[in-house]
Amino acid sequence: MLRAISKTSFLFSLITLSTPAFATTWYVDGKSGNDNNAGSSSAPFQTTWRGIQYAQPGDTVYILPTITYPQFGIFKSGTSTAPITIAGGNPGTTQLTSVQTDGTDFGIQINEGASYINLRNFNVVAPGNWSGIYVGFGSYHIKITSNAAHDCGLSGISTTGADYLTISGNLIYNNAHYTQNNVRGSGISTYENENSDNQTGIKNYITGNFIYGNTNQASSGDGYVDSDGNGIILDDLRHTQKSDPTSNVPYKGTTFVANNIIFANGGEGISISNSDHALVVNNTLYGNNRDPAESAWRPGEIGVYNGGDVSIYNNILYGDGSGGTANTGAHVVLSVENSTDGVGSITADYNLLYNLTNNSSLMFYLGQDPGHNNTNAVILNSHNFWNDPLFVNAIGGNVHVATNSPALNAGNTSVSPTNDFSNAPRSRTKPNVDIGAYQQSQ
């Protein structure tokens, strides 16, 4: 099992919370608290339910790291100016509070309709057919930051019918093993996002996450074929599967996927499936598509299936160069297929592409086979190039690049995030930023 970094020292908060002067801080201590207490630091509640029950807009509830807590739900809402924060650890630290389920529910569930919630600093395990952190229908303006979600049967973090999501700075690994009853998860999954308004700009941010080892495990009842186990999947934002018959309008918002490090997953590193409107920038992907029962045809490190209005810039995409299986065909570095409906083009530029076998014929798959053709334009601009990025130790999970890497100073500054994976500023003093999740040249 790959271990690249400490599971706690890696996690850092990406947001600074501003709360009104009247906000209250509540405390929960599962070991020594009592639900008849006042909920203060000296007299904490005992249960998560009690702490959340008392929370009002602008409040913070600290779930102290004194025990491993059972699963819990968040059923209150904040407001646009005063979100509710549910935080693990002790105030002012990066400690994580552990949550582990009994296999009958999600680890932490943001209940349907609960909105303006910030969730941070939890270490979540949810075996069985469950995700570690789940956001339900009609929940908007949710920030999930600086958590670890691992060894969950379904996804590490998953959402259904939500809007305005920030999923940042999380450690997501060893999820999605449960595959019974045709149910499969991924590392991070956003499914059938709902339009809470008519805005069309960037509404969702999936940034700065470290994601590895999420893979389906095919079972005999499903023909040994796996559809997921991706690092990140934007899943059916077109609402073709209509899981909620009352809300089947294709999603209009854009999802910004940036500064993620994604490797050794069973499916694609980033999968955009039946979904539109994505900006995929400055990610580093390495050696995904490891599941021999993967079902995607000609899968890539990034794969776009039936999508449109997708821009892919400044990414390091390092494939395995495999000839694939009977299910998949050869693995490529960037795959675009069945992209239809005239929503917009798929554009890729300033990406560094390579694979383990240095086989550049597996650079792109653009739907050349019958039944896989694209009708949306696929634009591969001239700044994409094939070269070894010269990782320091990719097998060990260190995807910094050498000082002579071709990734340095080779990206497009105009579309890059302000900071990199480690929150260091990207250079603005040179004509080009670095390609990939890290900014190393200044």
User: CB under 8 Å to 377, separation ≥6 — which residues?
Assistant: 345, 346
| Per-residue tens of pLDDT for the chain, all 442 residues | 333 444 444 443 333 444 455 899 999 999 999 999 999 999 999 999 999 999 999 999 999 999 999 999 999 999 999 999 999 999 999 999 999 999 999 999 999 999 999 999 999 999 989 999 999 999 999 999 999 999 999 999 999 999 999 999 999 999 999 877 677 899 999 999 999 999 999 999 999 999 999 999 876 555 667 789 999 999 999 998 876 666 678 999 999 999 999 999 999 999 999 999 999 999 999 999 998 888 888 899 999 999 999 999 999 999 998 888 777 888 999 999 988 777 899 999 999 999 999 999 999 998 888 778 888 889 899 999 999 999 999 988 899 999 999 999 999 999 999 999 999 999 767 779 999 999 998 7
Give Cα separations from 164 to 21, 59, 108, 192 (angstroms): 26, 20, 18, 13
Rounded to whole angstroms, the Cα distance separating 353 from 17 reads 38
Number of Cβ atoms within 10 Å of the Cβ of 50: 19
**Kind of pairing between the strands at 391-393 and 398-401:** antiparallel
Q: Which amino acid is at 289?
A: N
Hey, which bits of 156-307 come out as E strands? 157-160, 163-168, 171-173, 188-191, 202-207, 210-212, 232-235, 254-258, 261-263, 270-273, 276-281, 284-286, 302-305
Of 169, 115, 117, the closest CA to residue 147 belongs to 169
Rounded to whole angstroms, the Cα distance separating 323 from 76 reads 50
At 223 the pLDDT is 60
Question: Could you tell me where the DSSP H helices lie in 287-339?
Answer: none
Rounded to whole angstroms, the Cα distance separating 17 from 37 reads 26
At 235 the pLDDT is 96
Global pTM value: 0.93
**Right CATH number for 103-415 from 3.30.300, 2.10.25, 1.10.1740, 2.160.20?**
2.160.20
Hey, which bits of 322-397 come out as E strands? 334-337, 346-349, 352-355, 364-365, 378-380, 385-386, 391-393
Residue 401 pairs in a beta bridge with: 391
At 3 the pLDDT is 33
Q: What is the DSSP letter of 48?
A: H
Token pair in block for residue 434: 């670095």
Residue-wise DSSP of 385-418 = EE----EEEGGGTEEEE-TT-TTTT-S-GGGS-S
